[in-house]
Structure 1
Amino acid sequence: MYSDMVTARHYEERLQEEYLEGKQPAFDISAGPIPGELHLAAGHEAAGAGVCQHLRDDDTVTAPHRPHHVAIAKGVDLKRMTAEIFGRETGLGKGKGGHMHLFDPDVNFACSGIIAEGCPPAAGAGLAAKKRNTDSIAVAYLGEGAIDQGAFLESLNFAAVHDLPVVFVIEDNDWAISMPKERVTDLEDGSKRADGFDMPGRRVDSDDAVAVYEAAREAVGRARDRNGPSVLEIQVHRRMGHFMGDPESYRPEEDQTAATQRDSIERLADDLRAAGADDAELDALREEAEARVEAAIEWAKEQPEPDPAAAHEDMWVNPPSGVTDSEPDFDLAGGDD
């Protein structure tokens, strides 16, 4: 977990540096080596590492628009993910999806820029696992600002009705973009959304990786043992703006300061020292993580940009008007083909 967390933190800090190149002093979203928006998850690391430590490659994970820490913990190919963020041809989506639309089928990971829209695919993956009679599970990550979205609530209902092996993980960083949590919803503990669907809900009140690990072990174990879905909410802290270039003028200075002081990585380092690890071991893990990140960034920057002629490849297009000979390549009746 410590390795995943220091990898994720250094990754976000380095992406911030790369992203802001050419975009200052007057912020220009179109300038620099990384195109478009960028949402970074520094301060969320415990939620990714503590949960994904219990998962396997055949378990499905869907993440929201702030996905990198979860992707790293799930084992997504770091070089190809970085190439995708830089918009390069060798990226996970051939440079067409960007950082909010990462997809790595090798480890069953995907994310979406649409709020709470990872929940229905996770429920679908849970249903598929149940029908296939496997013990794989699905995990859907979302923010606390998404707990009132229909996609989340409908997915809770569907998972409860069909008794699906799904864990819904809410990352509560207190801010729904620029809106403080208490102005978004009247519910202080988002895990209580589970009460309306007769499923277990639990909140971890601090971004303590060990506490997250223990809570996730129970939730993941419940799903893997086919005892149904559950909701887990984790208190995390947003150390950066909602997106890069966000001036955060809406955020009190004391809240920003408090977020940087609550460091889940240092907390876990203290736990490791108490368990017998020495600083040399921790330094070695950190140096290895930083070297891995640097190698991924350098590799990505060396990759070719996509050929503009390929813009319409790998896209689903409606058949031309009048075409009637298109047949599905699957059997709706449930055959073997």
Structure 2
Amino acid sequence: MKTFFLPLLLLTNWCSTPVARVASSAPVPVVPVRSVNQPGPGSAAPAGRMTYDFSRPAASYAMPSELAELSGIALHGAGHIVGVEDETGTLYEYNLQSQKVDHTVSFGEDGDYEDLARVGNDWFILRSDGTLLRYNGTTTQAYETGLTFANEPEGLTYDATTKTLLVACKGEPGADLPDTKRAVYRLQAGSYKAEATPAYVLDVESIGASVPSQEAVEKKSGKKGKKKGGLKGFSPSAVAVHPLTHHIFVLSARQNGIVELDEAGALVAAQPLSSELFPQPEGLAFTANGELYISTEAGKKSGHATIQLFRPQH
């Protein structure tokens, strides 16, 4: 077995990274539902189209077998993507030019890790129980966000405008929201506790009613995959902030779809994704100029995870 060492994250003893825990916080308080400008399910207007053609990737990268369950990605410099998978506490640095994993580094014990984000020289890794890990290249510290297994926190990203982290939840929205909503929470700077009121609320019924069925998308692209009806039951698996428009992009693995919200939380666009290209899309990452990487776990046909690059269409 080969062992690699990640530059800028070099450990003096990476096989036994110490983990410091921060005192747990109380569950997220129940607060009134936050209103967002999204049409109700009975009058949903057709969603707009995004500036990306998700049927035509500009580049495609096949991941090695150890990343078959690639659950999250983040950019590291101009030519590398770092990924995390949902079994081991390991960061994998993938070289886009050589198309190989250059380095790996251990940040903690084995666990169900969902996503990661780079902030300065630190890596933040989200675990499925709502715990946030902060790895500085030497030690790993754990923070209790107040989100739990019931919320199913899956997406993590850094919002450079507010200098805070966002967490997208696939399960219970919390904050006294109905089951027809899904929530994106902002973590308070420093404490990394989820704010009581979600930063963004997704109306699942409106999203589902605003887009065509998967069958229609596949007919247009000429590619077939699992048949799904629109984006009914949209369940976030990743979140990212567009660096130029500051719009919020949310991915759904269960329904193979992606939505775009404006800064106020209004639904701008929603699109299903071909299950041929995206068997289980789990990761999002923007470059500084708005190019978008989407990662998907291995499918039954391909047998390996994939990262696809999409460029804006002007």
TM range (shorter): under 0.3
Higher helix share: 1
Q: TM-score scaled to structure 1, two decimals?
A: 0.26
Decide which structure has the larger Cα Rg and report it: 1
TM-score by length of 2: 0.27
- Name whichever structure is richer in strand by fraction: 2
